[in-house]
Chains A and B, each alone.
Chain A
Amino acid sequence: MLFTCIRTESMKLKRSFIWICFFLVPLIPAIMGTYNYIQNIDILDSGWYSLWTQHTLFYSNFFYGPLIAVYCAYLWRVENFNHNRNSLMTAPVPYLTIYLAKLSVAGIVTVLTQLWVMTLFIVCGIGAGLPGLPPAEIFYWLLRGSLGALVIAAFLMLLSMMLKSFALPIAIGLLTSISGLLFSSYDLGLYWPFSLLMYGMNSNKSDNTLAGRESAFFLFCALYLIVFAASGVRWLSKKDVV
């Protein structure tokens, strides 16, 4: 049942405009980051690691959040038209399955975005004249960042469902990203759900920020993911559709 619902949700994204956002939004920090790297190549002398700092500086600190919000808000947008939510809630599908299917699709697109970011990173690195391929550690940071991104997706999915608005979750997505930056600047990011993405991606750092604290990172990611997903399912099952 869950897989059928995931397939149904995926169909809603077919030929959708979110794919233009998907391709274009990560492209801008990639170009800007590479440009910045080339301009400051004398100071940024750690090769692939230095390029990583420039690529992730603004992308994960400011713009990945709103991009995830676009995915989540779009998945609920369809339900907000023509009383579609009534049809959705009267379908013989458990609330848990409906919610998890939407969350899974948002998660899949989120992880795909990370892969696209990695592709751009490699292409830009080669274009900037860096030797070989990026170190394996950077691939690991990207995967770890995906987990942090899933936490944000779970929160924004909940918000998009509750607010029934397309614009508001995206604006809030930007604010949560900036709040994540503030918490991480006070080294409290591990406890704040919106900083986990930056910590996971090792944003703007060439040394591993999470060295020795990785188990706490995974623990908090799992905790927030469960809390947000459970809240979403509960809200969907308790709140009446109007």
Chain B
Amino acid sequence: MKAFYLELRKTKTKLLQIIAPVLLFLLLYCLYGYQDMSAHDLSQGYYRAIMQFFLLNAIMLPLTAAAIASRLWDIENKGSAYKLLYTMEKRTSLFHSKLALASLHLLLIFAAELSYILLIGKAMGFTQPVPWEALLLFAVMNFFVTFSILLMQMLISFLLTNQLYALFVGILGSFVGLFTFFMYSIPLIRLLTPWGYYSALCFINNYYEEETRIADFFPIPYDFTPMILLFSASAVLYLAGRHFILTKEV
């Protein structure tokens, strides 16, 4: 706990500075993106919002996670402070406290996203009953995907002191995340890259009829295989991170 407070004091509000523009942008998107909805749109409002937030997360969160991870290791990297830190606190507690702090910020993002969806639902008068299960699943799935990406980014930021590498991977991730939503013919990309899991786990689909220009959003059966793969990958990443932190020579 002490290590967590220390991290909190070290980063001050730096992580909030990263997520605040993201949350502000999402809020603006909700304010402008859900105007002039037809009765048909309102009857599927929540499903539409969930699918759009899956896509928005695939674009924005890989880079946000990279920026968070980079910021978390920034002080230690810049000041070469590992030697000093490791004499005062356990190596694992340094890693865990950073991970806990980053996870807390991720939770904040998804709590805000859920509130935005519910708020626009109320404000725009969605006629669809609130799909609590789908909303909860949306938040949980997105949290785990982003958490896995964060684990990987933390590892990169820790091992490579030049933060350009980590942020480059973040940009690449946003790219891949976005493309996986459109590349249905190459399903393997979704499962082989951590950023592809936003689309692999997206349980809402849509059908766009060109003649009437009406889009239908509907849920598809949950497929938990990607979730199991993701859990396994996260466990490997966690163990690798722990190993590198314990064994890195300072």
A and B co-occur in one complex: yes
Tell whether, in the assembled complex, residue A166 and residue B164 are in contact, meaning their CB atoms are under 8 Å apart.
yes
Tell whether, in the assembled complex, residue A174 and residue B185 are in contact, meaning their CB atoms are under 8 Å apart.
no
Shortest CB–CB separation between residue A57 and chain B, in angstroms?
9
Is B178 an interface position by the 8 A CB rule?
yes
Is A200 an interface position by the 8 A CB rule?
no
A58: which B residues are within 8 A, CB to CB?
A: 175, 178-179
B74: which A residues are within 8 A, CB to CB?
A: 167
Nearest B-chain residue to A171, judged by Cβ: B67
Mask, A44-77, CB within 8 Å of B = 1, is: 0000000000000010001100110010001000
Q: Which of B142-167 contact A (CB under 8 A)?
A: 162-165, 167
A175–B24 alpha-carbon span in the complex (Å): 10
Contact for A24 among B28, B32, B172, CB less than 8 A:
B172
Is A18 an interface position by the 8 A CB rule?
yes
Is B105 an interface position by the 8 A CB rule?
no
Tell whether, in the assembled complex, residue A168 and residue B175 are in contact, meaning their CB atoms are under 8 Å apart.
no
Is B182 an interface position by the 8 A CB rule?
yes
Is A21 an interface position by the 8 A CB rule?
yes
Shortest CB–CB separation between residue A125 and chain B, in angstroms?
20
Tell whether, in the assembled complex, residue B63 and residue A171 are in contact, meaning their CB atoms are under 8 Å apart.
yes
Tell whether, in the assembled complex, residue A175 and residue B165 are in contact, meaning their CB atoms are under 8 Å apart.
no
B32: which A residues are within 8 A, CB to CB?
A: 182, 186
Shortest CB–CB separation between residue A112 and chain B, in angstroms?
17
Tell whether, in the assembled complex, residue A74 and residue B164 are in contact, meaning their CB atoms are under 8 Å apart.
yes
A21: which B residues are within 8 A, CB to CB?
A: 164, 168, 171
Is B187 an interface position by the 8 A CB rule?
no
Is B234 an interface position by the 8 A CB rule?
no
Mask, B83-126, CB within 8 Å of A = 1, is: 00000000000000000000000000000000000000000000
Tell whether, in the assembled complex, residue B21 and residue A175 are in contact, meaning their CB atoms are under 8 Å apart.
yes
Tell whether, in the assembled complex, residue A62 and residue B183 are in contact, meaning their CB atoms are under 8 Å apart.
no
In the complex with contacts A17-B162, A32-B183, A168-B67 CB distance below 8 A? yes
Mask, B39-73, CB within 8 Å of A = 1, is: 00000000000000000000110011011001100
In the complex with contacts A63-B174, A167-B71, A171-B18, A178-B164 CB distance below 8 A? no
B175: which A residues are within 8 A, CB to CB?
A: 25, 28-29, 58, 62-63
Q: How large is the interface on A (under 10, 10 to 19, 20 to 34, 35 or more residues)?
A: 20 to 34
A35–B185 alpha-carbon span in the complex (Å): 11
Number of A-B contacts (CB under 8 A): 96
Is A211 an interface position by the 8 A CB rule?
no
Q: What secondary structure prevails in chain A residues at the interface with B?
A: helix
Shortest CB–CB separation between residue A62 and chain B, in angstroms?
6
A21–B166 alpha-carbon span in the complex (Å): 11
In the complex with contacts A168-B67, A182-B32, A20-B172 CB distance below 8 A? no
Tell whether, in the assembled complex, residue B182 and residue A36 are in contact, meaning their CB atoms are under 8 Å apart.
yes
Is A90 an interface position by the 8 A CB rule?
no
Contact for A174 among B71, B164, B174, CB less than 8 A:
B174
A178: which B residues are within 8 A, CB to CB?
A: 25, 59-60
Nearest A-chain residue to B32, judged by Cβ: A182
B141: which A residues are within 8 A, CB to CB?
A: none
In the complex with contacts A70-B171, A167-B67, A182-B29, A172-B164 CB distance below 8 A? no
Nearest B-chain residue to A18, judged by Cβ: B164
A39: which B residues are within 8 A, CB to CB?
A: 185
A67–B168 alpha-carbon span in the complex (Å): 9
Q: Which of A1-52 contact B (CB under 8 A)?
A: 16-18, 20-21, 24-25, 28-29, 32, 35-36, 39
In the complex with contacts A67-B171, A170-B170, A175-B25 CB distance below 8 A? yes
Shortest CB–CB separation between residue A127 and chain B, in angstroms?
18
Is B247 an interface position by the 8 A CB rule?
no
A67–B164 alpha-carbon span in the complex (Å): 11
B183: which A residues are within 8 A, CB to CB?
A: 32, 35-36
5 more contacts with CB within 8 A, not counting A17-B168, A21-B171, A174-B59, are A25-B175, A63-B175, A74-B164, A165-B14, A171-B22
**Pairs A–B under 8 Å by Cβ, sample size 5:** A25-B175, A36-B183, A66-B63, A166-B70, A178-B25
